[in-house]
Amino acid sequence: MSAFERLVGPTLLRKSAAGTESVSTAEALGGKIVLIYFSAHWCPPCRRFTPMLVQSYNQMKAAGKNLEIVFASADNSESQFNEYYAEMPWLAVPFEERDVKENLSREFGVRGIPMLVVLDEDGQVITKGAAATS
């Protein structure tokens, strides 16, 4: 089991032409720099930050950067999650996996959102709190 599978579980959500589908965590994150994005639909600073992160993500992917973002939602309902995730081009921890999200929050000491945790290809922390607000 990879470090990423231990952190986020065996599967993640990914956008496809058919909508949202499950994908193997090992397949989706293997060998990549991974950013875990803690955010929520109800959070005004998150709503301002997400479009900027989408733009940066799209630019980095177009430039061939070997990275991926995983959304760890603090939304209160699956409908909020679905509406907010529709604005994001990256992966997500499935909403129903609340224990995974809570474990991630504890693991990385999330105290406020939005927050980005950057991990190297082996799942080791490069930086955390990259987007935290005061």
And the tokens for 64?
A: 């061939």
Name residue, tokens 């991630």: 104
CATH code for 3-11+21-128? 3.40.30.10
Say what the alpha-carbon torsion angle 30, 7, 44, 15 is, to the nearest 10 degrees: 40
* Residue ranges per structural domain of the chain: 3-11+21-128
Angle at 77 (CA atoms; ends 46, 4), nearest 5 degrees = 65
Answer yes or no: are the C-beta atoms of 128 and 107 closer than 8 Å. no
- What global pTM score does this model have? 0.93
Instruction: Give the tens place of pLDDT for each residue, 6-30.
Output: 999 999 999 887 788 999 999 999 9
d(CA 101, CA 69): 14
Across the range 95-123, mean pLDDT stands at 94
Quick count: other Cβ atoms within 10 Å of Cβ 19? 7
Instruction: Give the tens place of pLDDT for each residue, 64-101.
Output: 999 999 999 999 999 999 999 999 999 999 999 999 99
